Amino acid sequence: MTISLHLPRQNRVLAALPVVEYERLHPHLELVPMPLGDVLYECGDSLRHAYFPTNGIVSQLYVMENGASAEIAVIGNDGVIGVTLVMGGGTMPNRAVVQSAGYAYRLREHILQQEFNRSGVLRRLLLNYTQSLFTQTAQTAACNRHHSVDQQLCRWLLLSLDLLPGNELLMTQELIANMLGVRREGVTEAAGKLQRARLIHYSRGHITVLNRPGLEARVCECYQVVKSEFDRLLPRGLSTHTVDSGRLPPPSPTHSAAVYN
């Protein structure tokens, strides 16, 4: 068994908050597990919480009437699931499902809206994040229409790796095909090309990236467009407004640690 600390400021949005705003939110942040395949929201669900992941990845999927689905965005420790809470919608426009297991801090609807209405730094961060999420959604649609499955797979792998600490992903070809909205045979062929080029190693749902620069050289421009927009709109690590961690309140015992195999 391994004990791993999960702190709220491992999330990029929470990390950028000034200490006064962070202290107001901290007592209301609840650490929750995100098991692989868990559905946080279905399309049309009323939103009761926003989720700030510290690790793991959540896919936003558009689901057709016949049950087919395609991924329109991925969210990890760079963002928030349920940002529509502060945009006036009140419901989830798509399915949110855990693509890579991890943890998130959950915040109740009225607390988030209350802080948003203060017009502080959190408001600016959430609006910036929403713009970057729009960019990712639009670029994904363009990529799926105009680029090869090889390039789409490279984009998907790189965006996922940016949200994880290592170079490994657990994902079957069938699930990848569902995410990209393509046939499984297309993913099998694309993954085979990348493996023969020694860019990845794939075995029984376990993907290891062997050569990230090689993937970056092979990917379409869509990956860099999305990455550049996130980096432009959202700071990495602590913002200049945030004082050193010594002044921050320690996490409560129920929020400070998670145990997993």
| Whether 164 contacts 76, CB under 8 Å | yes
**Structural domain boundaries in the chain:** 1-117, 132-238
> Which residue bears the tokens 């991924």?
71
What is d(CA 33, CA 21) in angstroms, rounded to the nearest whole number?
24
Burial class (CB in 10 A: 0-12, 13-18, 19+), 97: buried
* Mean pLDDT for back-to-back runs of 10 residues, the chain (261 residues): 70 95 96 93 91 93 83 92 86 88 95 94 95 93 89 91 86 76 82 91 87 94 93 66 37 35 32
Note whether 1-117 and 132-238 share their fold: no
Would you put residue 194 in left (φ > 0), alpha (ψ -120 to 50) or beta? alpha
213 to 25, 153, 174, 195, 200: CA distances (angstroms): 39, 15, 26, 14, 11
Q: What integer pLDDT is reported at residue 122 of this predicted model?
A: 96
Please report the pLDDT score of residue 235 as a whole number. Answer: 67
Exposure class string for 211-245: b at 16+ Cβ within 10 A, else e: eeebbeebbbebbebbeebbeebbbeeeeeebeee
Q: Give the model's pLDDT for residue 128.
A: 95
pTM over 0.85: no
The CA distance from 82 to 134, in Å, is 14
Would you state the CATH architecture of domain 132-238?
Answer: Orthogonal Bundle (1.10)
The helix/strand/coil state of 132 is helix
Distance CA 178, CA 167 (A): 22
What is the pLDDT at residue 26?
A: 96
The per-residue pLDDT for 257 is 34
In degrees, rounded to 5, the angle at the alpha carbon of residue 17 between the alpha carbons of residues 11 and 20 is 135
- Domain 1-117 architecture: Sandwich (2.60)
Distance CA 111, CA 129 (A): 18
All residues at 6 or more sequence positions from 23 whose CB lies less than 8 Å from its CB, including other chains: 248, 249
Sequence letter at residue 123:
R
d(CA 40, CA 196): 36
